[in-house]
Amino acid sequence: MSIEQNLARVRQNIEVAARRARRDPSEIKLLAVSKTMSALAVEEAYRAGQRDFAENRVQEWHLKAPNLPRDAKWHLIGQLQTNKVKYLDSRLALIHSLDRVSLLQELERQGARKDWTWNTLVQVNIARDPAKAGLLTEEIEDFLALLGEHPHVRVWGLMTIGALAATSEETRLFFRELRVLRDELQDKQWPGVKLSELSMGMSQDYETAVEEGATMVRVGRGIFGDRMNG
């Protein structure tokens, strides 16, 4: 299967899953996770109409971003080291991995310096997996309350990574839990916070995520094929 065919199939699956859940398919954005993939593969996806791409390493993003026209949107999905924030710039559409106060502070510092406001999602460790990054559910409210003091950072929603070992039904419950958390938090108001986006679902479970309310799904292998390093 070519990248173009894979993209067509994934888009079709998203549409079918959305209709099953009585959702409008246009509410769901497909992100092509291009980490470890070649520039050629990324260009092929772009030529097939894909515009949103996601990388997990700042250095790799720096190498790849200049290869695509400016209308390509780049998302950062990996854990972000504080000392890498200074290498970020306005080509980045959305940072999905805001997961701690020190990162919030560094984004604020660099945002003020560059006169730029970062668009972010707060990463939630909904599965309480000790191997995963992300805030615990009970930490989210206090964290969101800090955004008012960090005017160069805006939160647009929540992101999660399902537990690796989870069955598909466990994964569905985690996705549902994230949506319920979002709905509860939406009743409250914090400056700099709007919770319209839910980034959840990868190659193995993006259809479930769409059924449970995802507005962004992050698909790598399902588009590009297996990564060399797994």
Ligand X SMILES: *Cc1c(COP(=O)(O)O)cnc(C)c1O
What residue ranges bind ligand X (CB under 6 A)?
33, 35, 56, 77-78, 161, 202-203, 218-222
Q: Which residues pair with 3 in a beta bridge?
A: none
Smallest distance from the beta carbon of 37 to ligand X, in angstroms? 10
Long-range contacts of 51-56 (CB under 8 A, 24+ apart): 52/93, 54/96, 54/218
Q: What are phi and psi of 26, to 5 degrees?
A: -70, -10
Residue 155, amino acid: V
Residue 6 has phi, psi (to 5 degrees) of: -60, -45
Judged by CB, which is closer to ligand X: 3, or 150? 3
Q: How far is the CB of 91 from ligand X (least distance, A)?
A: 19
Q: At residue 229, what is the residue type? A: N
| Residue nearest ligand X (C-beta atom) | 220
Closest distance of CB 170 from ligand X, Å:
17
Pairing mode of beta strands 216-219, 92-98:
unpaired
Closest approach of ligand X to the CB of residue 191, in Å: 28
Determine contact, residues 84/58, Cβ cutoff 8 Å: yes
Nearest CA to 32 out of 6, 50, 16 is that of 50
Between 108 and 205, CB nearer to ligand X: 205
CB of 136: closest distance to ligand X in angstroms? Answer: 18
Is 111 or 222 the residue whose CB approaches ligand X more closely? 222
Please identify, using beta-carbon distances, which residue of 114 and 221 lies nearer to ligand X.
221
Output 23 or 35, the one with its CB closest to ligand X: 35
